[in-house]
Structure 1
Amino acid sequence: MGVQHDGAELRQRKTNSDTQKLVVTDEGKKKDQLLDQHTTYEFGGPWGVVAIMTGFPVLMYYLWICLWFYDGKLVHPTSVEDFKPFLMRMWDHVRVDAYPNAYAWKVYSGNIFFQLFLAWIMPGYKQEGLPVPSLGYKTLMYNCNALTSMYVTYVAAAVLHYTGTFRLTEIIDNYGHIMSVAMIWGFGVSFGMYFFAVATGTQMRMSGNFFYDVFMGASLNPRIGSVDLKMWAEVRIPWVIVFFLAVSGGCQQYEKYGYVTPNMAFMILATWFYLNACCKGEECIPQTWDMYHEKWGFMVIFWNLAGVPFTYVYSVVYMASHDPSKYQFSTPTYVLIYSTLLTAYYIWDTAMAQKSHFKMQTQGIHEFRKTFPQLPGCVVENPTYIQTEHGNRLLTSGWWAYSRKPNYVADWTMSFTWGAIIGTATPIPYFYSVFFITVLIHRCSRDFERCSIKYGKDWERYCEVVKYKFIPYIY
């Protein structure tokens, strides 16, 4: 059944009978070719990206120092005369307490190589990605073995901890040192990938400005054998570190107090949700913009290797260095925060699955991977969509009938609870949600601009059907 809408067709078909694969039209290929060229600068251009590349690591050090050494207060110079001594105090903390020592190199680099080894050898689910315009619409195969790799990681961590070979409590105690090593890795891989892409002639969509191209990336799908480095780094590194930082905080509390607070238990649960969701739904990632369009540069590399793991869990850092009496809640408050997390997670998980499964259906894939937990509503039955002249289909069913980015709403809500779990003890753990909403709004504008160019009038019609950009009935 179809409804005509100014030349675009809003169609509804049964998923088990709609076997027609997506075919990109000639007009669509012209639009894709336009999108695969550098036309404008983003993020403030060369000067803007240099500011981000230098300023963000400084901010990471500053917020950690405030949490660990100054009771979570946002310290600052008290006078002009105090400015230089203040900078010296900050530098001393970085120089002494965040020095990239041998232990930190062993821990962080060990995890990098261990996760890369697991990605290389572990059995996995083979998933075909979307056609990549820059590769002549060739599809790449992905070996989705993050879930089995994580089970091996859990067992390895437990054995190392209980045998005393590597105590998990030591991770949070060496936060600053490990963070410095992570930053070095982030810069090293970013610049290394740029030079490698240029040397091998695999660079694309280049601006001609060195720093801007390092920031945005030069290559699209770098691989080592069967391992897609971009997808590997997005799943295996940040969320493994985030989860084990929370576990480390819990182990520390248990050894110190004989119990784990509901607040720390919340962070262990919340970080496990995210890690497990990325692993169990890894086959959905090749269908995302990150894989088939976003290049692998500093913006993505540094964020995955250093930014995410060392800015998202400030609440864990605070709890690990403060007495539990500073952030205790009443039972109803705990119930509210846990319930909010669970609700937001359900919406986020199912919304992401609905979109990815719909994209798979357009490729003729109708049998989906079964992993734990499979949540009800992860596949839209009889989906409605707008067929574009480009050849793609824009989903208008499920959670995607209420907002163009329902996953972002749920994702941000979860990020807010990660700060709310320590209440008003310090504002620093809310950095994640404040920064995240800024990133999401900017990402929305980038995505919507790209879709407007790609789909033209079909995008306008889609916006008439799905009216709200972000928050249903509000924005």
Structure 2
Amino acid sequence: MVVNSNGPENTLRQRQTANGTPTKFVITEAGKEADRRLDKHESYEFGGPFGVVAIMTGFPILMYYLWICLWFYDGKLVYPTSTADIQPFLWRMWAHVATDASPNAYGWKVYSGNFFFQLFIAWVLPGYKQEGLPVPSLNYKTLTYNCNALYCLYTTLITAATLHYYHIFRLTEIIDNYGHLMTVSMIYGFGVSLITYLYAVLTGTQIRMSGNFFCDYFMGACLNPRLGSIDLKMWAEVRIPWVIVFFLSVSGACKQYEQYGYVTPNMAFMMLATGFYINACAKGEECIPQTWDMFHEKWGFMVIFWNFSGVPFSYVYSVVYMASHDPSTYRFTTGGYVFIYTVLCTAYYIWDTAMAQKSRFKMQTQGITTFRKTFPQLPGCVVKNPTFIQTAHGNRLLTSGWWAYSRKPNYVADWTMSLTWGAIIGTTTIIPYFYSMFFIVVLLHRCTRDFERCSIKYGKDWERYCEVV
């Protein structure tokens, strides 16, 4: 069914194909006019030049501080106790960074090795060809994405296991070199952001520019950067952060096994949680081209630094804590383990299927009715006979499945998972909860940006959608 905001009863029967899937949508002239407005810079985001500079300088400092507190100060938030202690405190912090987080040879070798290995296998391995959404700035041309993340994941796992088994590269060493790897990741984040910014400006492919260097560097200048068959934006979102996050968990587990002869249920939980995430991104990669990240978000510092450094080195503080502390400090009861594992699995199911429902609904409206099948293919990934609001823009807003209950069911489930990533170490330290605390701010801000964009794009149809969902 289709909900039409102009109808007297607000509900009309939709024209459908024989198998009950939605008919292909057509973008209207009014919709194109709205898209042209959205592809122009109208106002600063993130507090303008001052705000983005504060983020670009403050967040790396915060990442160093939280890691130092976890690794060297038993998870306590250390701070100067008096005015006289400020300078010695700052020198102690700097000494930790200079000594224990220097961009040493190991950091460059391992981070760069993974970076270029992921690029190489993304280039050579076969994949599933997926068509993206029509891009307004390309005159509504659709781009084709080579979705081979699943093959790349299996190749990475086999390669890492082989190197570890033959003592060529020990996975245990990754967590011990956390600081060094983190600094190298930051250098990559700043450097790649600058390279892509300059490339877009010099080649005249920039879009939605503000005219302020700091804001444009932060938000990005290019929309769809590609290296041959590799879409760099999608590659960086899937291949770099979640590979590192997963192997940091594996490294923590390997270290526990070498120290104690076993892996705690808490560390196993993080291996499962990060494994869920990396496998979901790989097996459902064909859904990513239908997302806002690919369709609208530019590839700048905000996205690049977050994927190269922010995500991998601020999401798994619980692993850092467990790798440096005795298991007795965070042991749960059997009931506690059952509860937190259940919450994780339930939230993951909702997140996975909600993302699939929305993406495959968008594919249906493009005329795509055959979907890729990968393991594990969870039930409920496709909404049958979906209801939606037909907009004057030409697009359709899904009101079925999980999307009948929330405008962002994927965000609710995603945040719930993030909370369990901190809760797995109990109340011994608040630092592992940074992910969930920061993530809720990010999601709320992202919702605000998304809802403002949708309000411009859909007008009264968006108001009707907000009444329904």
Q: Is residue 136 of structure 2 the alignment partner of residue 133 of structure 1?
A: yes
Kindly provide the CA deviation profile for residues 339-359 of structure 1, in whole angstroms up to 9, marking residues without a partner as x. 000000000000000000000
Compared CA separation, residues 160 and 3, structure 1 to 2 (3 A): closer
Compared CA separation, residues 122 and 174, structure 1 to 2 (3 A): same
User: Please, which of 40, 52, 55 is the counterpart of residue 43 of structure 2?
Assistant: 40
Q: How far did residue 6 of structure 1 move?
A: 3.1
Q: Is residue 93 of structure 2 the alignment partner of residue 77 of structure 1?
A: no
In the alignment, residue 465 of structure 2 is paired with which amino acid? Y
In the alignment, residue 147 of structure 1 is paired with which amino acid? L
For residues 356-395 of structure 1, the aligned pairs below 5 Å read 356-395=359-398
Q: How far did residue 20 of structure 1 move?
A: 2.8
Q: How far did residue 385 of structure 1 move?
A: 0.4
Q: Is residue 417 of structure 2 the alignment partner of residue 414 of structure 1?
A: yes
Checking the alignment, whether the CA contact within 8 Å between 1:351 and 1:399 is kept in structure 2 is: yes
**2:221 paired residue number:** 218
- Does the residue aligned with 1:170 lie in a helix, a strand or coil? helix
| Whole-Å separation in 2 of the counterparts to 1:6 and 1:224 | 45
**1:403 paired residue number:** 406
Q: Is residue 347 of structure 2 the alignment partner of residue 340 of structure 1?
A: no
Checking the alignment, whether the CA contact within 8 Å between 1:13 and 1:384 is kept in structure 2 is: no
Q: How far did residue 4 of structure 1 move?
A: 5.0
| Whole-Å separation in 1 of the counterparts to 2:120 and 2:407 | 38
Q: Is residue 165 of structure 2 the alignment partner of residue 157 of structure 1?
A: no
User: Please, which of 276, 281, 287 is the counterpart of residue 278 of structure 1?
Assistant: 281
Checking the alignment, whether the CA contact within 8 Å between 1:9 and 1:387 is kept in structure 2 is: no
**1:303 paired residue number:** 306
Q: Is residue 172 of structure 2 the alignment partner of residue 169 of structure 1?
A: yes
| Whole-Å separation in 2 of the counterparts to 1:197 and 1:3 | 41
Checking the alignment, whether the CA contact within 8 Å between 1:10 and 1:385 is kept in structure 2 is: no
Checking the alignment, whether the CA contact within 8 Å between 1:249 and 1:264 is kept in structure 2 is: yes
Unaligned runs of 5+ in 1: 467-475
**2:295 paired residue number:** 292
Compared CA separation, residues 188 and 389, structure 1 to 2 (3 A): same
**2:127 paired residue number:** 124
Q: How far did residue 22 of structure 1 move?
A: 1.8
Give the aligned length.
466
| Whole-Å separation in 1 of the counterparts to 2:149 and 2:402 | 26
| Whole-Å separation in 1 of the counterparts to 2:64 and 2:13 | 52
| Whole-Å separation in 2 of the counterparts to 1:59 and 1:294 | 25
In the alignment, residue 139 of structure 1 is paired with which amino acid? T
| Whole-Å separation in 1 of the counterparts to 2:293 and 2:258 | 41
- Does the residue aligned with 2:389 lie in a helix, a strand or coil? strand
| Whole-Å separation in 1 of the counterparts to 2:451 and 2:395 | 15
Q: Is residue 228 of structure 2 the alignment partner of residue 198 of structure 1?
A: no
**1:31 paired residue number:** 34
**1:472 paired residue number:** none
Compared CA separation, residues 4 and 216, structure 1 to 2 (3 A): closer
- Does the residue aligned with 1:166 lie in a helix, a strand or coil? coil
Q: Which moved more, 1:58-67 or 1:18-27?
A: 18-27
- Does the residue aligned with 1:329 lie in a helix, a strand or coil? coil
Compared CA separation, residues 256 and 226, structure 1 to 2 (3 A): same
| Whole-Å separation in 2 of the counterparts to 1:389 and 1:92 | 60
Q: How far did residue 295 of structure 1 move?
A: 0.1
| Whole-Å separation in 2 of the counterparts to 1:6 and 1:19 | 19
| Whole-Å separation in 2 of the counterparts to 1:447 and 1:399 | 18
| Whole-Å separation in 2 of the counterparts to 1:285 and 1:31 | 23
| Whole-Å separation in 2 of the counterparts to 1:9 and 1:407 | 26
- Does the residue aligned with 1:165 lie in a helix, a strand or coil? coil
Kindly provide the CA deviation profile for residues 16-47 of structure 1, in whole angstroms up to 9, marking residues without a partner as x. 24463221100000000000000000100000
| Whole-Å separation in 2 of the counterparts to 1:31 and 1:214 | 25
In the alignment, residue 461 of structure 1 is paired with which amino acid? R
- Does the residue aligned with 1:386 lie in a helix, a strand or coil? strand
| Whole-Å separation in 1 of the counterparts to 2:287 and 2:2 | 28
Checking the alignment, whether the CA contact within 8 Å between 1:14 and 1:381 is kept in structure 2 is: no
Q: TM-score, normalised by structure 1?
A: 0.97
Compared CA separation, residues 388 and 310, structure 1 to 2 (3 A): same
User: Please, which of 183, 186, 189 is the counterpart of residue 186 of structure 1?
Assistant: 189
| Whole-Å separation in 2 of the counterparts to 1:313 and 1:11 | 48
User: Please, which of 95, 113, 123 is the counterpart of residue 116 of structure 2?
Assistant: 113
**1:6 paired residue number:** 6
| Whole-Å separation in 2 of the counterparts to 1:277 and 1:190 | 27
**2:211 paired residue number:** 208
Checking the alignment, whether the CA contact within 8 Å between 2:128 and 2:286 is kept in structure 1 is: yes
Checking the alignment, whether the CA contact within 8 Å between 1:386 and 1:396 is kept in structure 2 is: yes
Q: How far did residue 12 of structure 1 move?
A: 5.1
Q: Is residue 261 of structure 2 the alignment partner of residue 254 of structure 1?
A: no
| Whole-Å separation in 2 of the counterparts to 1:97 and 1:112 | 22
Q: How far did residue 14 of structure 1 move?
A: 5.6
| Whole-Å separation in 1 of the counterparts to 2:395 and 2:379 | 26
| Whole-Å separation in 2 of the counterparts to 1:179 and 1:154 | 22
Kindly provide the CA deviation profile for residues 71-114 of structure 1, in whole angstroms up to 9, marking residues without a partner as x. 00000001000000000000000000000001110000000000
* Identical counterparts, % of pairs: 78
**2:454 paired residue number:** 451
Checking the alignment, whether the CA contact within 8 Å between 1:12 and 1:383 is kept in structure 2 is: no
User: Please, which of 304, 325, 332 is the counterpart of residue 329 of structure 1?
Assistant: 332
| Whole-Å separation in 2 of the counterparts to 1:12 and 1:425 | 55
Compared CA separation, residues 459 and 10, structure 1 to 2 (3 A): farther
Q: TM-score, normalised by structure 2?
A: 0.98
User: Please, which of 228, 244, 248 is the counterpart of residue 245 of structure 1?
Assistant: 248
| Whole-Å separation in 1 of the counterparts to 2:95 and 2:2 | 67
Unaligned runs of 5+ in 2: none
- Does the residue aligned with 1:81 lie in a helix, a strand or coil? helix
**1:435 paired residue number:** 438
- Does the residue aligned with 1:71 lie in a helix, a strand or coil? coil
In the alignment, residue 434 of structure 1 is paired with which amino acid? M
Q: Is residue 156 of structure 2 the alignment partner of residue 145 of structure 1?
A: no
